[in-house]
Amino acid sequence: MTSNYILAPILVQLVTAILLIFFWQRVTVQRVLSTVGNTFSFITSLILAIDIWNFGTQTLHAGNWQPPFGITFVCDALSATLILLTSIVGLAVGLFSTIGISINRIKYGYFPIFHFLLMGLQGAFLTGDLFNLYVWFEVVIISSFVLITLGGKKMQMEGAIKYVTLNILASTIFLTAIGISYGLTGTLNMADLAQKIALVENRGIVQVTALLFFVAFGIKAAVFPLYFWLPSSYHTPPSAIAAIFGGLLTKLGIYALIRMFTLIFIPDDYTINLFIIIAIMTMFTGAFGMMNKKSIRKVFSYLIVCHIGYLIAGLGLYTEKSLSGTIFYLIHDIIAKSNLFLIAGLIYKIRSSTDMRRLGGLYKDYPLLSILILFVLLSISGVPPLSGFWPKLNIISEALRSGNYTLVFSIIISSFVTLVMIAKVWAEVFWKPTPKDHPEQDDTFAPLSTFKKVTMILPVFLLAFISFMIAMRPGTFMNLSDKIANELMHSDDYIENVFRVKNIQN
């Protein structure tokens, strides 16, 4: 089936961004327009996702060029789900930004760039062409470079240099790998590549190419040896920006890995072992890295790294069930991690600090808000009935079945460390009495008008509500993940779908 509709999420973001540039420096207009754009994007993505879930994959050949020559956009269940999640997070973070981002930053074009970033993400999830994927990655990282440096504080620049350097390195490796794939097969259409790469006789060079892709996406996803740019840069920009980075940007790397290694490069034993080892190392570095950190945003950054490990583990086990666990974890993680950074932003607004030694007494001052935050924190650490628990269960049971006890052991240890750290954050920030030297005027949240307070808490509540829904109805999400995993493991359907759609004759 062909339909222009699958491009709607991209076009809505693009139109919003263009309109926002027309109203450069008009702060109120920017805030309203961005929220309206995000709402539209949410509605179109929801319609698209429901359509795809019910009626299966859709394909569009941009410019009416036959595959494999033109650029193909393919929306399968995985893409549709991620597009919907991106719109939800975009809506929440956009709403939070209207108050949480300073007027100066808005005047220097925060909102247009924010929408270009979202457009890049939507495009990357949709495209079925390897080079086009690279272009969307560039759209994303160039927007993120602007966002991470916007405001120009010294600390931000320091974080940005590490961020920019490592990301450019990753892009270079990505481009090299694309070049080699093109040299091997003469095509860049992912479906076509999947068929042709299987026929290449020199398997050694195919494996090297696969590993180059793994390194490139691994850097973006912050897996073990090259994760260090993440904790040293994500705590520097304002929380709203960190929320979109933490929730979606690293997950883009994971998405690309899943797509590459289920569709094009079917991993052999060597690659699978490598995945498992790297997953274990990522979990441990994330878990132990956060133990001695004092800033809550640093703790949360290491938490991202730690949980990337689970996602890689699910991919590394490479069974349908474990892949379903990864997808489910991805759904949970995108929502929860974005929320975590929004919460860090709220705490900063309330106390003007993110240092755990200087925080305290939040539960006494804001009891209801604290309960809401506690819920999110517990969801992240995967306490049984909540949303982080179910996907982890899937991955652990699958690891047990394959007899990989080292992996089971590492998942349990790192979950335990996560729980301890989350408990520590709760104890230090919320329960501990307010430190003596804490001046009252640090609270920049209390003087805000009720409307502004609601606009800041609503996104947190919205995302927490989705986490709550995942916890209440895990079966629904499990079925969805199973369906997606099934599609991914049977990539013939994807390939067939790309080539079946014929051109519309003139």
Partner 1 sequence: MKSTIFKVAANYLLPLLLLFSVFVLLRGHYESGGGFVGGLIASIAFVLHFFAYGLESARSFFRFSTATLIPIGLSISLFSGILPMFAGKPFMTSLWFKKPVAIIGSVGTPLFFDIGVYLIVVGVTLTILFTISENVK
Contacting residue, 4, 102, 397, 444, with partner 1 by CB under 8 A:
4
Are the CB atoms for 467 and 375 separated by under 8 Å?
yes
Of the listed pieces 2-10, 45-53, 154-162, 168-176, which binds partner 1 according to CB under 8 A?
2-10
Binding-site member from 1, 24, 294, 412 for partner 1 (CB under 8 A): 24
Which of 14, 124, 222, 343 is the binder for partner 1 (CB under 8 A)? 14
- Nearest distance, CB of residue 40 and partner 1, angstroms: 15
Tell me how far CA of residue 476 lies from CA of 85, 161, 336, 393, 473, in angstroms: 16, 42, 18, 16, 6
Q: Which stretch binds partner 1 (CB under 8 A): 20-28, 154-162, 185-193, 336-344?
A: 20-28
Q: For 481-494, b where at least 16 C-beta lie within 10 A, e where not — what string?
A: bbbbbebbeebeeb
> Least distance to partner 1 from the beta carbon of 487, Å?
23
214: exposed, middle or buried (C-beta count within 10 Å: 0-12, 13-18, 19+)?
buried
Q: Cα 95–98–100 angle (5° rounding)?
A: 100
Q: Is residue 7 part of the contact set for partner 1 (CB under 8 A)?
A: yes
Smallest distance from partner 1 to CB 172, Å? 23
Q: Does 139 bind partner 1 (CB under 8 A)?
A: no
Rounded Cα distance between 393 and 176, Å, is 38
Closer by beta carbon to partner 1, 64 or else 406: 64
- Count of residues for the chain? 506
> 177: which 2 tokens?
């790998």
CA–CA distance, 132 with 427 (Å, rounded to integer): 47
**Is the Cβ of residue 14 or residue 164 nearer to partner 1 in the bound state?**
14
The one among 48, 49, 52, 60 contacting partner 1 by CB under 8 A: 60
* Alpha-carbon distances of 138 from 134, 222, 278, rounded to whole Å: 6, 17, 26
The binder of partner 1 chosen from 63, 204, 439, 475 (CB under 8 A): 63
**Does the footprint of partner 1 cover residue 66 (CB under 8 A)?**
no
Q: Which of 11, 43, 135, 469 binds partner 1 (CB under 8 A)?
A: 11
Stretch that binds partner 1, among 8-16, 207-215, 225-233, 436-444 (CB under 8 A): 8-16
Task: For residue 69, state whether it binds partner 1 (rule: CB under 8 A).
Answer: no
Residue 61 within binding range of partner 1, rule CB under 8 A: yes
Decide: is 369 part of the binding site for partner 1 (CB under 8 A). no
Residue from 223, 131, 129 nearest 176 by CA:
131
According to CB under 8 A, which one of 1, 28, 50, 64 is a site residue for partner 1? 64
Q: Does the protein bind partner 1 through residue 62 (CB under 8 A)?
A: yes
- Interface stretch with partner 1, choices 41-49, 59-67, 95-103, 401-409 (CB under 8 A): 59-67
Q: Is 18 in the site for partner 1 (CB under 8 A)?
A: yes
Residue 169 vs residues 64, 285, 376: alpha-carbon distances, Å? 34, 22, 34
Distance of alpha carbon 298 from alpha carbon 425, whole angstroms: 12
503: left (phi over 0), alpha (psi -120 to 50) or beta: beta
* Angle at the Cα of 210 from the Cα atoms of 77 and 70, rounded to 5 degrees: 55
Considering the rule CB under 8 A, would residue 113 count as an interface residue with partner 1? Answer: no
Q: Report if residue 22 touches partner 1, rule: CB under 8 A.
A: yes
Residues within the interface to partner 1 (CB under 8 A): 2, 4, 7, 11, 14-15, 18-19, 21-22, 24, 60-64, 504
